[in-house]
Amino acid sequence: MVHHQNKAIREGDNPDLTAERVTGTFDTHSMAAQIYNSEAHARRRREITEIIAKRPELHDTKPFPFMTREEKILESSRKLTLITKHMNEIIEPNNSNEMFHLNNEVLGIEGHPMALHGIMFIPALTAQASEEQQKKWLTRAINREIVGTYAQTELGHGTNLQNLETTATYDVATQEFVLHTPTITGLKWWPGNLGKSSNYAVVVALMFIKGKNYGPHTFMVPLRDEKTHQPLKGITIGDIGPKIAYNVTDNGFLGFDHYRIPRTNLLMRHTRVEPDGTYVKPPHAKINYSAMVHVRSHMITGQAIMLSYALTIATRYSSVRRQGQIDTTQPEVKVLEYQTQQHRLFPYIARAYAFVFAGAETVKLYERVLEEVATGNVSLMADLHALTSGLKSVVSHYTAQGIEQARMACGGHGYSQASYMSEIFGVAVGGCTYEGENMVMLLQLARYLVKSASLVKTGQSSKLGPLVAYLGAKSDSTSLIDRTPTTGFAEYVKTFQHIARRQTLKAADKFFGLMEKGEKRPIAWNKSSVELNRASRLHTRLYIVEAFVRRVEEVADPRLKEVLTDLLHLHVNYELLDMSTYALEDGFVSSSQLDYVRDQLYFYLAKIRPNAVSLVDSWEFSDQELRSVLGRRDGHVYENLFAWAKASPLNKTDVLPSVDKYLKPLMESARASKL
Ligand SMILES: CC/C=C\C/C=C\C/C=C\C/C=C\C=C\C(=O)SCCNC(=O)CCNC(=O)[C@H](O)C(C)(C)COP(=O)(O)OP(=O)(O)OC[C@H]1O[C@@H](n2cnc3c(N)ncnc32)[C@H](O)[C@@H]1OP(=O)(O)O
Ligand SMILES: Cc1cc2nc3c(=O)[nH]c(=O)nc-3n(C[C@H](O)[C@H](O)[C@H](O)COP(=O)(O)OP(=O)(O)OC[C@H]3O[C@@H](n4cnc5c(N)ncnc54)[C@H](O)[C@@H]3O)c2cc1C
């Protein structure tokens, strides 16, 4: 048997797809180790996939698009119960990476009844509950004796937490907090799994003690009777209805009617209220925003994975779809031969790799900050907040764009739910909104950038943190791209630094200039905000490029290094063209240099072409995880599209009741009236 570098090759596959895999120049298992950050985890992912493949009870009973929302929730609950019961046979206990993979394989991306339990409820208790509180609730939560969510957003307010309407008023006499929803707009609205699944929530409410508003605080709140699951007295609760996607998750509403909880249900790791109502301040004002930072830090990888789902589907399909000729004397070509198709897909393949590498760095920083904060050191919180705010915005934006490009690259079949593209898009695009609307989060990063710009302008560049140190550096007068014998990545990084620095300083000048002219700070901020967000995007895209460069530098295997270097070339050239307005504005890059960048881009599209399928195969998504007829590993698309269509509920009978009831009589009466 021939051992190929691409480990997805199997006998009997569509030969067009096998031909693509044979041309791969690198070992896809080794690339998976880069993507998943260790050989051990990449191997464990494969093992988990194999275990699941052998357990039919963990497979979907029918394609998700053919299920109603209720059926999907039932099916998801069934599988959730099974994986909870057999967890230790499938994954290592408490390994969150393995858990993430298990969930994606078995439950899928549409959510499940305990999604928020793992993503936010447990992280909130871990970071914000005192040791005593953790003994009481965390172990029970980890054991899934109770199910919880994170209830912050309200019908009227999601972004502006200071103006939430839910109040938690301390009653010194009974040592209780009284939770209350004063208006319709104060109803909690959106929290995942709040509607029907959770019996507890970490609730964010404005805390009032002796008439003073202490701002948003987090409380552990029982919502439903642990035995009957009936809502407790004083609680109004339900599902908010179907959404664009993610409909297995019961996003919910919640209202409180003078609902009492003990004082000790305020999460008290960093902040306290004494029995007499004395308030003990936390070491950092935003320390209780940690569950949001947790998701923002992890969602970078989550988004990269969803982008890669779509790219895997589109790239495989483009290798089996033949349409039209390039040379009219030759047979029809695979659509992947078209330069336009490559230009649509390959830069996004590069972005997906860039995002997953940036995501790995972010999680590392998050874990470091989490440890430091636990010991009272909050010095890196602002840096982490700035970085994750920018990354969640930029990455979710390009992920949604990339998925949509991948869908269009599949032509008509991309529009069928058999492709699964609409669900992938729908789930991913939610990331532009949840955990902070993207514009809002870019403005959070902009605050950090403006402060950094102030340091530069006042001659204090030495105080800049490592993520913004480039703002204090001097620029060359023009870019060195194509002006040195060999243009390396360093020239590109310097060019991106120049662009981000110039835009940051320009936006900050505009803001400070408006204030000098007498505008109040918030007005000046609003009038500069488009320019400020441009700076935030450029800064974040620079960070992503640098993370990509750092990773490629670390890779030892020469075959992997070569293909990752090709991807990085594609990435930097594509990015530079995409932001060329900024580069041309001050003549830092000339139009002849951009011609060079364009030529490089086309060169690397062609160079990557033979590795395209192997690059997507390296993500090692099983068919069960992808849930896409177009993206099947074996490439047998057409016969399976036909089988899928035949299985559609509409095809259970030849004549639909609606035809019997309405269309037949309509046609009959039309015919009769002609007589
Ligand atoms: C593991 C997951 C993997 C994959 C996920 C896959 C699927 C997920 C599927 C579904 C989604 C699941 C869950 C979704 C959950 C949610 O959406 S929860 C709700 C999230 N809500 C938000 O994000 C609200 C956004 N708003 C805010 O965060 C805040 O309101 C704010 C915009 C930051 C402003 O806060 P505030 O009003 O308090 O601000 P100011 O008083 O003006 O202070 C600003 C200063 O505070 C600093 N700051 C703010 N936040 C932080 C922080 N977290 N850490 C450190 N510092 C912070 C900010 O920098 C300002 O500082 P300054 O400039 O020095 O003044
Ligand atoms: C799929 C999904 C899951 C969610 N899960 C949860 C959950 O589990 N728990 C939870 O508590 N919440 C959850 N949410 C809610 C989510 O976090 C909020 O919807 C989100 O933070 C945005 O807030 P908003 O809806 O108030 O948007 P708005 O703030 O109303 O945004 C509307 C527009 O106003 C703009 N805008 C608002 N403020 C500013 C500003 N200061 N400057 C400039 N522009 C501004 C925005 O950019 C946007 O264009 C979820 C939402 C979704 C879609």
Per domain, the residue ranges of the chain are 146-282, 289-436
Q: Is 342 in the pocket of ligand 2 (CB under 6 A)?
A: no
Residue 227 CA to ligand 1 centre (angstroms): 35
Q: Is 152 in the pocket of ligand 1 (CB under 6 A)?
A: yes
pLDDT tier at 86, thresholds 50, 70, 90: very high
Of residues 560, 21, 20, 40, the one with CA closest to residue 337: 20
Strand, helix or coil at 238?
Answer: strand
Average pLDDT value for residue range 191-211: 98
Ligand in closest contact with the CA of 195: 2
Complex ipTM above 0.95? yes
Among protein residues, the one with the nearest Cα to ligand 1's atom 63 is 447
Q: Is 457 in the pocket of ligand 1 (CB under 6 A)?
A: no
- pLDDT higher at 45 or 484: 45
Average pLDDT value for residue range 671-675: 88
266 secondary structure, DSSP code? B
Helix, strand, coil % (nearest 5) of the chain? Answer: 60, 10, 30
Among protein residues, the one with the nearest Cα to ligand 1's atom 40 is 162
Angle, CA 252 vertex, CA 386 and CA 298 arms, to 5° = 30
User: What pLDDT, in 10s, does the model give residues 490-546?
Assistant: 999 999 999 999 999 999 999 999 999 999 999 999 999 999 999 999 999 999 999
The answer to whether residues 195 and 238 touch, using CB atoms and an 8 Å cutoff, is yes
Amino acid at 228: T
The C-alpha torsion from 450 through 456 and 459 to 464, rounded to 10°, is 90
What pLDDT score was predicted for residue 94?
A: 86
Residue 436 CA to ligand 1 centre (angstroms): 6
- Extract the tokens encoding 120: 């936010």
Cα-flanking dihedrals φ and ψ of residue 248, to 5°? Answer: -75, -20
**The domain 146-282: what is its CATH number?**
2.40.110.10
Strand, helix or coil at 565?
Answer: helix
Residue 366 CA to ligand 1 centre (angstroms): 14
User: What pLDDT, in 10s, does the model give residues 272-306?
Assistant: 999 999 999 999 999 999 999 999 999 999 999 99
pLDDT tier at 2, thresholds 50, 70, 90: low
Strand, helix or coil at 284?
Answer: coil
Task: Give, for ligand 2, the residue of 437, 444, 527 to mutate: max count of ligand atoms closer than 8 Å to Cβ.
Answer: 437
Report whether pLDDT(1) > 60. no
Residue 376 CA to ligand 1 centre (angstroms): 20
User: What pLDDT, in 10s, does the model give residues 563-616?
Assistant: 999 999 999 999 999 999 999 999 999 999 999 999 999 999 999 999 999 999
Among protein residues, the one with the nearest Cα to ligand 1's atom 25 is 436
Among protein residues, the one with the nearest Cα to ligand 2's atom 17 is 434
Strand, helix or coil at 149?
Answer: strand
What is the atom index within ligand 2 of the atom nearest the CA of 151?
11
What is the atom index within ligand 2 of the atom nearest the CA of 153?
11
Q: Is 402 in the pocket of ligand 2 (CB under 6 A)?
A: no
By CB atoms closer than 10 A (0-12, 13-18, 19+), residue 29 is middle
Distance of CA 51 to the CA centre of its chain: 27
The answer to whether residues 487 and 573 touch, using CB atoms and an 8 Å cutoff, is no
What pLDDT score was predicted for residue 148?
A: 98
Report whether pLDDT(4) > 90. no
The number of beta carbons lying within 10 Å of the beta carbon of residue 422 is 17
Report whether pLDDT(367) > 90. yes
Q: Is 151 in the pocket of ligand 2 (CB under 6 A)?
A: yes
> H or E segment at 525?
helix 521-554
Average pLDDT value for residue range 479-500: 93
User: What pLDDT, in 10s, does the model give residues 306-336?
Assistant: 999 999 999 999 999 999 999 999 999 999 9
By CB atoms closer than 10 A (0-12, 13-18, 19+), residue 269 is buried
What pLDDT score was predicted for residue 475?
A: 83
Q: Is 302 in the pocket of ligand 1 (CB under 6 A)?
A: yes
What pLDDT score was predicted for residue 477?
A: 87
DSSP class per residue in 1-30: ----S-TT--TTS-HHHHHHHHT--S-HHH
What pLDDT score was predicted for residue 426?
A: 98
What is the atom index within ligand 2 of the atom nearest the CA of 529?
43
Q: Is 381 in the pocket of ligand 1 (CB under 6 A)?
A: yes
What is the atom index within ligand 1 of the atom nearest the CA of 434?
17
Report whether pLDDT(87) > 80. yes
Average pLDDT value for residue range 109-134: 97
- Extract the tokens encoding 80: 């959730």
DSSP class per residue in 397-451: HHHHHHHHHHHHHTGGGGGSGGG-HHHHHHHHHGGGTTTS-HHHHHHHHHHHHHH
Q: Which neighbouring-strand residues pair with 177?
A: 170, 261
Q: Tokens 């011609």 — which residue?
A: 595
Q: Which neighbouring-strand residues pair with 180?
A: 167
Q: Tokens 């929302």 — which residue?
A: 69
Residues designated catalytic? 435
Among protein residues, the one with the nearest Cα to ligand 2's atom 48 is 437
Ligand in closest contact with the CA of 302: 1
Q: Any binding-site annotation on 488?
A: no
What pLDDT score was predicted for residue 3?
A: 74
Average pLDDT value for residue range 125-136: 97
Task: Give, for ligand 2, the residue of 153, 194, 289, 303 to mutate: max count of ligand atoms closer than 8 Å to Cβ.
Answer: 153
Q: Is 434 in the pocket of ligand 1 (CB under 6 A)?
A: yes
Report whether pLDDT(79) > 60. yes
Q: Any binding-site annotation on 495?
A: no
Report the alpha-carbon distance of residue 448 to residue 388 in Å, rounded.
Answer: 12
Residue 633 neighbours by CB under 8 Å, 6+ apart: 8, 10, 13, 316, 617, 622, 623
pLDDT, averaged across the chain: 97
Could you tell me what percent of the chain has a pLDDT over 70? 100
Among protein residues, the one with the nearest Cα to ligand 2's atom 24 is 158
322 secondary structure, DSSP code? B
Q: Is 378 in the pocket of ligand 1 (CB under 6 A)?
A: no
Q: Is 243 in the pocket of ligand 1 (CB under 6 A)?
A: no
Phi/psi region, residue 664 (left: phi>0; alpha: psi -120 to 50; beta: rest), is alpha
Report whether pLDDT(200) > 60. yes
What is the atom index within ligand 2 of the atom nearest the CA of 193?
8
- Extract the tokens encoding 565: 């270097």
Q: Tokens 């007589």 — which residue?
A: 675
Among protein residues, the one with the nearest Cα to ligand 1's atom 49 is 286
Task: Give, for ligand 2, the residue of 110, 116, 159 to mutate: max count of ligand atoms closer than 8 Å to Cβ.
Answer: 159
Report the alpha-carbon distance of residue 511 to residue 520 in Å, rounded.
Answer: 10
Report the alpha-carbon distance of residue 138 to residue 132 in Å, rounded.
Answer: 10
Q: Is 153 in the pocket of ligand 2 (CB under 6 A)?
A: yes
What pLDDT score was predicted for residue 31?
A: 98
Residue 398 CA to ligand 1 centre (angstroms): 20
Ligand in closest contact with the CA of 446: 1
Superfamily of domain 289-436: Butyryl-CoA Dehydrogenase, subunit A, domain 3 (1.20.140.10)
Q: Is 155 in the pocket of ligand 2 (CB under 6 A)?
A: no
Phi/psi region, residue 324 (left: phi>0; alpha: psi -120 to 50; beta: rest), is left
Task: Give, for ligand 2, the residue of 164, 289, 423, 440 to mutate: max count of ligand atoms closer than 8 Å to Cβ.
Answer: 440
Q: Is 351 in the pocket of ligand 1 (CB under 6 A)?
A: no
Among protein residues, the one with the nearest Cα to ligand 2's atom 42 is 440
The answer to whether residues 510 and 502 touch, using CB atoms and an 8 Å cutoff, is no
Q: Is 458 in the pocket of ligand 1 (CB under 6 A)?
A: no
Strand, helix or coil at 25?
Answer: coil
Among protein residues, the one with the nearest Cα to ligand 2's atom 16 is 434
User: What pLDDT, in 10s, does the model give residues 442-469?
Assistant: 999 999 999 999 999 999 999 999 999 9
